[in-house]
Structure 1
Amino acid sequence: MISVTAMLGAATMYVRYKIVQIQNSRSPFLCRNFNFVSLLIGIIGCIGMGIVASFQETSVLKVHDTGALVTFVFGVIYILLQSIISYKSCPEWNKRGTCHIRMSISVLSSLAIFPMIICASLVGIGTFKCEPDEELSPYHQASAVCEWIVAFGFVTYFLTFIRDFSGCKFEDFNRTS
Structure 2
Amino acid sequence: MRCFMPGVAFVPALLVTWSSAAFIIPYVVAVLGGHVDPLVPYISDTGTKPPESGIFGFMINISSLLGVATMYIRYLIIEKQNESSHFISSSFNILSLSIGLMGCVGMGIVATFQELSVPSVHDIGALVAFGSVIVFASQISMTKIHWIPSEKDYVYHFVSAICEWIVAFGFILFFFTFIRDFQMNHVSPKHPVHGYFKNLDYTSIK
- TM > 0.5 between the two? yes
Q: Distance in 2 between matches of 1:9 and 1:43?
A: 8
Give yes or no for the alignment of 1:152 onto 2:169: yes
Q: Which residue of 1 aligns with 2:68?
A: 10
Cα RMSD over matched residues?
A: 1.8
1:166 maps to which of 175, 179, 183: 183
Say if 2:123 is the partner of 1:65.
yes
Match in the other structure for 2:85: 27
Deviation per residue, 1:91-127 (Å, 9 max, x gap): xxxxxxxxxxxxxxxxxxxxxx2xx31211111252x
Task: Return the structure number with greater relative CO, CA threshold 8 A, min gap 6.
Answer: 2
Alignment partners' CA distance in 1, 2:141 and 2:128: 18
Give the secondary structure class of the aligned counterpart of 1:170. Answer: strand
3-state DSSP class of the match of 1:56? coil
* Displacement of 1:51: 0.7
Change (3 A) 1:169 1:29: closer
Q: Does 1:130 align with 2:146?
A: yes
Contact 2:78 2:88 in 1 (8 A): no
Count of aligned residue pairs for this structure pair: 132
- With normalisation by structure 2, the TM-score equals 0.60
Q: Which structure has the bigger radius of gyration?
A: 2
Residue by residue over 1:128-167, the C-alpha shift from the partner in whole angstroms, topping out at 9 and shown as x without a partner, is: 3316xx3361111000001111111100000000000001
Q: Find the residue that maps to 2:146 and give its secondary structure.
A: coil
Distance 1:38 1:125 in 2: 34
- Structure 2, gaps ≥5 residues long: 1-58, 190-196, 201-206
| Other structure's SS at 1:3 match | helix
User: How far off its partner does 1:63 sit?
Assistant: 0.5
What's the CA shift string for 1:31-67, capped at 9, x where partnerless? 2111011101111111111111110111001110110
| 1:142 equivalenced with 2:200 (yes/no) | no
| TM-score, with length taken from structure 1 | 0.69
Task: Say which SS state the counterpart of residue 169 (structure 1) adopts.
Answer: strand
Whether contact under 8 Å (2:109, 2:122) holds in the other structure is: yes
What code does the residue aligned with 1:130 have?
H
Question: Who is 1:117 aligned against?
Answer: 134
Question: When you count helix as a share of all residues, which structure comes out higher?
Answer: 1
Is the contact between residue 106 and residue 126 of structure 2 (CA under 8 Å) also seen in structure 1?
A: yes
Aligned partner of 2:100 in structure 1 is 42
